[in-house]
Amino acid sequence: MNWSGSPSTGARSPDCDMKKAILLDFGNTLVHYFYSEEFPEYRRAGLSAAKLYLEQQGLPVPPDLVVAGREEAENFEASDHRVRALEDRLARIFGLSEHGVSCELLDAACRKFLGRMFSVSRLYDDTHEVLDLLGRKGVRTCIVSNTSWGSPAQPWREEMLKHGVAERVDEIVFCRDVGWRKPARVIYEHAVGKLGVSLEDCLFVGDSMKYDIGGARGIGVEAVLIDRGHRHEWPNEDHIHDLSGLLHRLGLQK
């Protein structure tokens, strides 16, 4: 990569500085969900679905105005990037701690919260093809992903299975697996350790400058920004618009 700010030109030769491992973000890198500015809509829809579910289970829940105020109070991430778990947020928002709610019920409420997000998911056309090619070339792959509002990892693993992604990568690491969100170095180091490669042998691909690119570069991993929607101008940043751009940089052909 060219860190001077101007895009690299020309494809790499497959045997020239070839990366042994590719770390990939999930949402809006391999599968489209929604853009960050749309998250409040999905968060509110998720809370409404969780509230309805809890009511159906016979639990008393606060009125909508109280829920809205508590939602606002919970809508932040820890400054040190520790995960703030969705189960804990829901328990506080709906006052569940005083009712002795089971882990199974909380898990179900979390899945209701995620339902609207999962319903709009769309696999990108190039995801399977590129992951398969990387596998055939012996390039190891690991998905490294935060989850929405600290939601549990298992529903997201099921999403990856639904989209045929899980079986096409070597490892999967969610923030909930390690207790830290990107850009904390812990999650990147955990992923690299699972792959058994050095930092210098890795390249990270993600759609967020702060959470993906900044975090990876902060521990010495090369990173490239993917902007699938052509939504931003990046005058000082090397970037790609699809996974074909990644193959170009690796010197690989479809």
Asked if 47 and 165 sit in the same domain, the reply is no
User: Each residue of 62-107: pLDDT tens digit?
Assistant: 999 999 999 999 999 999 999 999 999 999 999 998 777 899 999 9
Asked if 145 and 229 sit in the same domain, the reply is yes
Asked if 92 and 153 sit in the same domain, the reply is no
Is residue 98 situated within a structural domain? yes
Asked if 186 and 240 sit in the same domain, the reply is yes
Alpha-carbon torsion 230, 124, 185, 193, what sign? negative
Whether the link from the prior residue into 183 is cis, omega within 30° of 0, is: yes
Asked if 132 and 59 sit in the same domain, the reply is no
DSSP H stretches of helix in the chain: 39-56, 64-74, 86-93, 103-119, 127-136, 153-162, 175-178, 185-195, 215-218, 243-250
Asked if 67 and 88 sit in the same domain, the reply is yes
Residue 30 has pLDDT above 90, yes or no: yes
Asked if 112 and 134 sit in the same domain, the reply is no
User: Each residue of 55-70: pLDDT tens digit?
Assistant: 999 999 999 999 999 9
What is the rounded average pLDDT of the residues 169-177?
A: 98
Is residue 214 situated within a structural domain? yes
Q: Over the chain, what is the mean pLDDT?
A: 91
